[in-house]
Chains A and B, each alone.
Chain A
Amino acid sequence: MQTKTKKKLSENILDKFSIDFLRNQVLKNAYGNDDTVIAALDPRILLVWYLFLGLVPWFVNNLWFLMGCFLLVLVTTILARVAGLVLLLFGVGVFTQTGYLLVVSLFFGGNASTVVPLLILTLKVAVCSLASVTVFSGLDPDRLSNGLMWYGCPERLSFSISYAYRVLPMLMEEFQNILLSYRMRGNPPEHESFRGKVKYLIYQVRIVMHAFYPLMLNTAKRSRTTVEALEIKGYRYAAVNKSVKKMKLSTLKVTYNDLLFLAVSFLWIALSILASTLF
């Protein structure tokens, strides 16, 4: 009975973790939440905000200040309604970056005094990643790339961002189709015993590697089509032309909401600085 439920549970988790699920999560992350408070803000303002919260915590070792920053980015992450998968990845990432260090240093003869510096380190990592989660998954990809372009990032980068979001669902679908066709024609080894399981794993990895062969050829064709279509529109000349850039960026506008967002964040940071001087 127990083994049955256990089996069911693992099947359930595996079901959820299919390629379709991943695709949906990525798409939801990119386009699903453009009606939030964060998404409505000006990308330039958000990038400045991110620059502060992504850099300054690394240089400060005060627990109160870091706590304040952490609460601030926590609130903005909730406001941005980030997809669940991204938050899960964030949790795992923070643990593997510093959590394991804690365990290892205890093993090598550390004690409770190890905890405080590592807590500070963990908070630093958490603040930076949550700030980036807010900005980079809260914003529409096009607005994000416009914002980056305004700051003079190379055109290649903003092109890559817009292109990546558009091409990813197609690529994922194609990869899945190729995998399925391999699976249909293939004859997987038995995976009841341990030996069989190892063989099965090797078989799966081999299929994934083999699947990249047709995928590479197909993508090569597609990228040629893409580049030729871009060339017809005069992409390489437009990319460096100033008046084209100006037209592209004319949609960006700073409103009172943006300034208010900055001011409230600033107030909160100032309060946490005050707290760090008082205690």
Chain B
Amino acid sequence: MELAKKQTATQSQKLMIFVLTMALYGLATLFTELIPKFQVGAVEFSVEYFLFIPLTLAMLFDPLSAALGAATGELVFSEIMLGQFGGLGELEKFLTVTIGVYIAGRMVKNPKNRKMVGIAAITGTGLQLLMGTVVDILKVQLAVEDIEAVAGLPESVCATEGLAFLNDLLFSGILFCLLPTLFLVPKLYGKIEPLLGMRPRDEKTGLGGINGKVVIGAVAAFAAAAGAELLASSGTPLIEWEAEWAESGKALALGIVVAAAVVVVALVVLKELAVRRNRMEQ
């Protein structure tokens, strides 16, 4: 009965939720990556967010597993499989998706309460989009060197990013996150849980609302996300280093070239020797 009191899924059930969210959201993000986008001026009409899938699952199941599964699914299916992996910068998207979905999932105590489901869905989406926007603005401000020299760039970045945020929230947020979640959560409630061998979530078995710990965790994760993204695109220390060798390093660069050439030749010779030895042995 211990299990029934708290909605703590067992380890293997958590893995099931992880796999389920990963596969579904991965498939959806793969489609969004492939569907062409229509752009009217700075306003973009795209089927950007299939975020309703992890949102729905996070409201019905353990939110953390669903959130992590969604982020991993996006990373693996749409970034690694299509070869669009952006290195450290992907950490930002990973963490913002996790935070958005997790918070939305924690907000819903009773999935039958439609109002709460709607509020949670739009809050989760809004949070995710807002974090992305803030990081994007910071990124471009720091990535383009001497940004002040480029006339009109700072204002244009803020304007386009702000517009994109509003557009995403109103267009994708309502159409592709709010409405499908409102449709799916009541419909799936009570039907999908038995398939994973679990009890449906209700007021008693819910994890409890959002408390200080969740907020602090989310803020820390967001700071990490912003830090990773900025680290991936700024790089002030190494620019100075580059300037150094640009002045005095002709000889050094030449030395490196010669060394590299020697290594290449040595490797070719070694390889030839190895091949010949193999042939001799045969």
Q: Given A104-B42, A217-B195, A223-B16, does the pair A117, B144 have CB atoms closer than 8 Å?
A: yes
Say yes or no for A36: interface residue by CB 8 A criterion: no
Are B33 and A160 in contact, with the CB atoms below 8 A? no
Say yes or no for B1: interface residue by CB 8 A criterion: no
Are B24 and A277 in contact, with the CB atoms below 8 A? no
| Among candidates B20, B87, B253, residue contacting A132 with C-beta atoms closer than 8 Å | B87
Are B150 and A117 in contact, with the CB atoms below 8 A? yes
Are A108 and B268 in contact, with the CB atoms below 8 A? no
Residues of chain B from 140 to 168 with CB closer than 8 A to chain A in the complex? 140, 143-146, 149-153, 155-157, 160
Are B72 and A156 in contact, with the CB atoms below 8 A? yes
Residue of B nearest to A129 (CB): B84
Are B235 and A58 in contact, with the CB atoms below 8 A? yes
Say yes or no for A59: interface residue by CB 8 A criterion: yes
Chain A residues within 8 Å of B239, by CB: 59-61
Are A256 and B274 in contact, with the CB atoms below 8 A? yes
Q: From residue A75, how far is it (CB to closest CB) to chain B in Å?
A: 15
Majority-rule SS of A interface residues: helix
A90 to B34, CA, bound (A): 11
| Among candidates A118, A129, A168, residue contacting B27 with C-beta atoms closer than 8 Å | A168
Interface size class of A (residues with CB under 8 A): 35 or more
Residue of A nearest to B42 (CB): A104
Are B195 and A224 in contact, with the CB atoms below 8 A? yes
A213 to B53, CA, bound (A): 10
Chain A residues within 8 Å of B234, by CB: 58
| Among candidates B84, B191, B274, residue contacting A217 with C-beta atoms closer than 8 Å | B191
Residues of chain A from 259 to 279 with CB closer than 8 A to chain B in the complex? 259-260, 263-264, 266-267, 270-271, 273-274, 276-278
Residue of A nearest to B183 (CB): A209
Are A90 and B151 in contact, with the CB atoms below 8 A? no
Are A267 and B184 in contact, with the CB atoms below 8 A? no
Q: From residue A40, how far is it (CB to closest CB) to chain B in Å?
A: 14
Chain A residues within 8 Å of B274, by CB: 256
Are B264 and A264 in contact, with the CB atoms below 8 A? yes
Majority-rule SS of B interface residues: helix
Chain B residues within 8 Å of A164, by CB: 22-23, 26, 73, 76-77, 81
Are B150 and A105 in contact, with the CB atoms below 8 A? yes
Q: Given A216-B188, A274-B253, does the pair A89, B264 have CB atoms closer than 8 Å?
A: no
Residue of A nearest to B143 (CB): A121
Are A267 and B264 in contact, with the CB atoms below 8 A? yes
Residue of B nearest to A116 (CB): B150
Say yes or no for B86: interface residue by CB 8 A criterion: yes
Say yes or no for B211: interface residue by CB 8 A criterion: no
Are A133 and B145 in contact, with the CB atoms below 8 A? no
Q: Given A61-B145, A263-B264, A276-B246, does the pair A55, B192 have CB atoms closer than 8 Å?
A: no
| Among candidates A29, A62, A113, A212, residue contacting B83 with C-beta atoms closer than 8 Å | A29
Q: From residue A77, how far is it (CB to closest CB) to chain B in Å?
A: 9
Say yes or no for A227: interface residue by CB 8 A criterion: yes
Residue of B nearest to A114 (CB): B150
10 further A-B contacts with Cβ under 8 Å, apart from A274-B253, A274-B256, are A61-B239, A82-B83, A86-B84, A104-B156, A163-B19, A164-B76, A168-B30, A219-B24, A220-B16, A274-B254
12 A–B contacts from the bound complex (CB under 8 Å): A30-B81, A58-B233, A61-B145, A128-B87, A129-B86, A164-B76, A171-B27, A224-B195, A224-B197, A260-B264, A263-B267, A270-B260
Of all A-B residue pairs in the complex, the 7 with the closest CB atoms, nearest first, are A108-B152, A59-B238, A59-B235, A137-B83, A133-B83, A267-B260, A256-B271
Could you list which residues of chain B lie within 8 angstroms of chain A, going by C-beta atoms? 11-12, 15-20, 22-24, 26-28, 30, 33-34, 36-37, 39, 42, 47, 52-53, 56-57, 72-73, 76-77, 79-88, 140, 143-146, 149-153, 155-157, 160, 175, 179-180, 183-184, 187-188, 191-192, 195-197, 232-235, 237-239, 242, 245-246, 249-250, 253-254, 256-257, 259-261, 263-264, 267-268, 270-271, 274
